[in-house]
Each structure stands twice: as structure tokens, then as C-alpha cells.
Amino acid sequence: MSRLVALVRREFESYVLNPVPWVLTFFFLLLTWFFFALEISGSRGYPVRVTYTPVFVSLDFILMFLMPLLTMSSVADERSRNTLETLLTAPVQDWQVILSKWLGTFLFFVLMLFPTLVYWLVLRHIGEPIGKPDPGPIATAYFGALLLGGLYAAIGIFASSLTENALMSAFLSFFLLIFLIAVGVLPFVQEASAEWVRLAATYLSPHDHFEAFLRGRIETKGLVYFGSTTALFLFFAVRSLESRKWR
């Protein structure tokens, strides 16, 4: 247990002590603010209904760019700097390494989300004439945001585990994310004759699942979706780390 804690701490520190994650945090907040402002101005600065949706309305889109950049070096740099060799010849297990990288990333993502709580105050202020934002949907929105970030982080770490080139890893996870998000709207999927193909494609995209959380609903299928896909990509990452043994 103390090993896992030490590993997670190291991962989290590697984000905190480097400038790039903070630059990404800055862009994250900038984009969040931009889409929030855009959404609000659509209703002339005053929302018709006071909901938390405008804050995270484009989160799946923003993170599609930022999460690959945040996670790109997590395993790839350890490979290219050979620190993977020191790490894996210590008595730690491959799954501990991957899990700690994911948890470290996740913790930093939590840190990134923190400043967005300011929109609660903003919404209270501009929503004054209509009403206060409901705490319930806000809680589910954040819950959904964490699940979304967790999934993206798992995909990013999996991509990072495949290569020793951080930029390559970023491209890889970016395309994996685009595929996952857009597979439902691809023309040949849309025109597929079988109903289940379209259903499956829509189910694969995190968008609808995430939106349910934004609307204040915790759906079992959403929990299952995020839980299983996150676990799956982390499992892939562990296997990819293990591949040194059978390649």
C-alpha cells in the first residue's frame, strides 16, 4: 500500500512540478470560460433556466485536445529516458505502475476542475432574477466530469504506454478519442442498415452518457460505460507495459 501511495505521489508531483500541465490548466480554464460565455450570451447574458450545463457543455470536446497533451509523457518519457527500467526493476508490479499513473493524472485533473467552482457563484449572481442553481445537478455534473476525465486519462495513458515518443502518444490518444466520440456520426455508420450498429456507435460515444450527468441524472448505463471503458483501457496499458516480456 505504501508503495502505491509513493507511486501516486510521484506521478502527481511530476504534474505539479512541471510547467506544461499548468499551461494546459490555463487553456482548460480559458476554453471553459469561452464556451460558458458563448452559451450564456445565446440567451442575452441571462439564462432562461439556471443550470450548470453551460460550464461543462463542451467538456468532452475540450478534454479531447487537452487530455492527450496532459498524459502524453506519462509512460512514453519513462521509456525514452530509461527510467522505466529503474522503475520496473524495483519490487513493484506493472498494474501498480499504471494505476498510479492514472490516479496521479486523475488527481491533477481534480485540481484543474477546482477553479470552475467559481461559475457556481457566477450563476448565482446572473441567475438572481430567475432562481438559484440546484446543488443536485451541480453535484452530478461534477461527478460526470470526473468520470469523463478518468476515461480520457486512461485512454491517454494507454496511448502513452505504446510508444516512447510523447508527441506520437498525444496524436494516438487524440485519434482514439475522436474515434470514440465521432463513431456515432460517421456517414457509413449512420447509413448502416442494422439498427444495432447505430445504437452501438451511439453507446460508444461518451457524449450522451456525460450529458445525462449534466442534466442531473445518474444513469446506471453511464456508470457502467465509464467504469468499464476506463478499466478496459487501463488493462490494455498494463498489457502494453508487460509486452516487453514477450516481444
Partner 1 sequence: MAAIEVENLTKRYGARTAVDSISFSVGEGEIVGFLGPNGAGKSTTLRILTCFQPASSGTARVAGYDVFTQSRQVRENTGYLPESTPLYTDMRVRAYLVYRATLKGVPRRDRREYVHDAMARCDILDVSDRIIGHLSKGYRQRVGLADALVNRPPVLILDEPTSGLDPNQVRDVRDMIKEIAGETTILFSTHTIPWVEQVCERVIVISRGRIALDGTLDDMRRRVAPWARVEFRTSLDARPAVESVQLVPGVAFVENLTIGTRTSLRFLTAKADLAACEARVRAALAAQGGTFEDVRVHEAVVEDLFTSLTRGEAEEPAATDAEVLA
Footprint of partner 1 on this chain (CB under 8 A)?
A: 2-3, 6-7, 9-10, 13-14, 17-18, 81-93, 244-246
- Tell me how far, at minimum, the Cβ of 20 lies from partner 1, in Å: 12
In the bound state with partner 1, the residue whose beta carbon lies nearer, of 3 and 132, is: 3
**Shortest approach of partner 1 to residue 93 CB, angstroms?**
8
Supply the minimum distance, in Å, between the C-beta of residue 153 and partner 1: 20
* Residue with Cβ nearer partner 1 (62 or 75): 75
Nearer to partner 1 (CB atom), residue 188 or residue 246: 246
Q: Which is nearer to partner 1, 13 or 128 (CB)?
A: 13
Q: Least distance to partner 1 from the beta carbon of 239, Å?
A: 15
Cβ nearer to partner 1, comparing 10 with 221: 10
At its nearest, how many Å lie between partner 1 and the CB of residue 18?
Answer: 7
- Cβ-based nearer residue to partner 1, 134 or 164: 164
CB 68 within 8 A of CB 165: no
Residues counted in the chain:
247
Q: What's the min distance (Å) between Cβ of 24 and partner 1? A: 17
